[in-house]
């Protein structure tokens, strides 16, 4: 997937909208305010495949920004916190990936949810946002949030709890729930499946014998563009590319900063 994204980004990356997170958060906030004042508007904005077929095409976009429930009382405070967290997640992913990759990830989740809705019935944006949460937990596992405003909790545990919830929903949920979960997980695994498999392969097996010559040194990865290596910064990420334009079809390694622009 990284290879295809790198090719498309080099060709179309300059056309990718920048700052999509601000639009997502702003439209979510606007939708919440509208529903707080007029709760009945929800039925004019949610994703109803039959209504879309009748010509109400705005629903294929507006459903992405509807809160799961219209609120009152503490609803405003909780929604403000949710919007702040959504901004944190989206802006961090956009900064980490670049606008093109982030836009594609969000768009695929939205299109998948839309397609599933026409197959099994109306779905909400819950699982689009779930895929963003899982991506954030994977990219920033040590990022801490304050659970209940008191308890520090790392995102890797939030991600694991969310994954457990996904498994539970697949086991006991109805057809609508399972369809939404499968869309979110398909989008997530499309982007992170190879990386997760690589991480699992790097986990040492308990039964593995210890080398009599001591621990073997890890391969040093070097960026062909800037010369930075994994020995300089062990947390530095690398990508492989074999584009015809610059790499001439030969697998070449780049750091994450130059993988998309070399």
pLDDT tens-place string over residues 21-75: 899 999 988 988 888 888 888 888 888 888 888 888 998 888 888 875 544 444 6
Q: Which residue has the higher pLDDT, 174 or 201?
A: 174
Given the structure tokens 């006991």, which residue do they identify? 172
Which are the contacts of 17, defined by CB distance < 8 A and separation ≥ 6?
A: 23, 99, 103
Look at residue 73 in the predicted model and tell me its pLDDT: 42
Q: How far lies 256's CA from each of 33, 200, 236, in Å?
A: 39, 21, 7
Query: Which residues touch 69 (CB under 8 Å, ≥6 apart)?
Result: 75
pLDDT score for 219: 60
**253 phi/psi in degrees, rounded to 5:** -100, 135
Question: Which tokens belong to 38?
Answer: 């007029």
CA 146, chain centre distance (Å)? 21
Domains present along the chain, CATH in parentheses: 2-198 (1.20.1540), 221-262 (no CATH)
């Amino acid at each position: 997937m990284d290879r295809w994204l790198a090719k498309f980004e080099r060709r179309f990356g300059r056309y990718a909208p920048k700052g999509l997170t601000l639009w997502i958060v702003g439209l979510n906030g606007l939708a919440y305010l509208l529903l707080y004042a007029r709760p009945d508007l929800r039925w004019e904005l949610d994703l109803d495949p039959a209504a879309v077929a009748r010509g109400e095409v705005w629903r294929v976009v507006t459903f992405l920004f509807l809160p799961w429930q219209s609120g009152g009382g503490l609803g405003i405070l909780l929604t403000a916190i949710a919007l702040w967290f959504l901004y944190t997640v989206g802006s961090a992913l956009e900064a980490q990936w670049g606008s093109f990759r982030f836009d594609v990830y969000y768009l695929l989740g939205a299109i998948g949810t839309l397609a599933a809705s026409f197959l099994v019935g109306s779905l909400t944006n819950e699982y689009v946002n779930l895929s963003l949460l899982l991506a954030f937990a994977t990219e920033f596992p040590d990022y801490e949030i304050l659970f209940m405003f008191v308890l520090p909790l790392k995102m890797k545990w939030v991600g694991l709890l969310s994954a457990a919830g996904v498994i539970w929903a697949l086991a006991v949920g109805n057809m609508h729930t399972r369809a939404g979960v499968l869309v979110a997980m398909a989008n997530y695994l499309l982007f992170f499946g190879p990386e997760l498999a690589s991480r699992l392969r790097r986990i040492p097996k308990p039964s593995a014998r210890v080398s009599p010559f001591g621990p073997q040194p890890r391969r040093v990865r070097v960026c062909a563009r800037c010369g930075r290596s994994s020995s300089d910064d062990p947390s530095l990420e690398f990508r492989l590319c074999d584009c015809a334009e610059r790499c001439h079809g030969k697998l070449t390694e780049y750091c994450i900063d130059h993988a998309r622009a070399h």
